[in-house]
Amino acid sequence: MLAEAASARGLTLHIVGIRGEARDEIERFPHTWVKWGEIGKMFRALDENGCGDIVIIGGVDRPDFSNVQLDLGAINTLPFILSLGKGGDDHVLSRVVRFFEQKGYRVHGAGDVAPELLAGEGVLGGRTPSAEDKADIALALRVVGALGRLDIGQAAVVVKGHVLAVEAAEGTDAMLTRCAELRATGRTGRRSRGGVLVKAPKPGQEERVDLPTIGPDTVTKAAEAGLSGIAVAAGGVLMAERGATIGAADQHGLFLVGVTLAERNGA
């Protein structure tokens, strides 16, 4: 989606994809595949294609370094590679950004290239949150803020003033699946629909990488968990397949809203 948006703006691009992580769809564009550990090959691909400006996008699993085959470029940066085995996601990704910057590259956020991929402000679908929903949103935003300061997660679920779940290493989908199981067993105290999912960047997060993301699957999972809707940080959350995501919210009867920075700060 980012490559399509960049191409539509007339930008020349080249994609470097990590095998086993990036999807084959990148082959529709000029590209180079690299394996974990092929840092020298990655830099050659960037330099040979004139890529002084880069965007880092997409989720990856942390590799098992015992199985990574290092090329010469990786061996020359071994202390940096070993440092990636420690710390939370934000710590690791901030180091990755600094690493590229120290090599002379300019790192941009996806929203710099394609602002239309970011969630907008206000009501995004056909439904509006109730006063009770807004109270749950406010509490969930405080929870996400507290989680973020510890570099834990970017999402929380609150139902009728009760913190039902927080996101950790398992990710949003797994968290929502857990919520659905709790709802099915009646352990939430309610079987009827209610509650919200909130996603927002961590306080002080390096927002050029690892922005929270939602898409149609997120909406479906939220519906299965019996939630009333989803609130996201306006301008701070990527919305994959925007039209399909809003359509899914309307189809499932969920509200979808983008909250402002002032609302996130409790103003």
Q: Tens of pLDDT along 183-228?
A: 887 765 555 679 999 999 877 677 788 788 999 999 999 999 999 9
Separation of alpha carbons 92 and 64, rounded Å: 15
CATH for 118-264?
A: 3.40.140.80
Residue 204 φ/ψ, nearest 5 degrees: 75, 10
Q: What is the pTM of this model?
A: 0.82
Tokens of 94: 């901030």
Indicate whether 143 pLDDT > 60: yes
Cα angle vertex 240, ends 249, 141, to 5°?
65
The ranges of the chain annotated as CATH 3.40.50.20 are 2-113
For residue 90, give the nearest of 266, 209, 185, 215 by alpha carbon. Answer: 209
Separation of alpha carbons 43 and 84, rounded Å: 18
The ranges of the chain annotated as CATH 3.40.140.80 are 118-264
Can you point out the beta strands (E) in 35-95? 53-55
- What average pLDDT does the segment 118-136 reach? 95
What CATH number does domain 2-113 carry, 3.40.50.150, 3.40.50.20, 1.20.1250.20, 3.40.50.620? 3.40.50.20
- What average pLDDT does the segment 133-148 reach? 92
The whole-number pLDDT of residue 94 equals 79
Residue 10 vs residue 170, higher pLDDT: 10
Q: How confident is the model at residue 267 (pLDDT cuts 50, 70, 90)?
A: low
The whole-number pLDDT of residue 75 equals 75
Is the distance from CB of 225 to CB of 179 less than 8 angstroms? yes
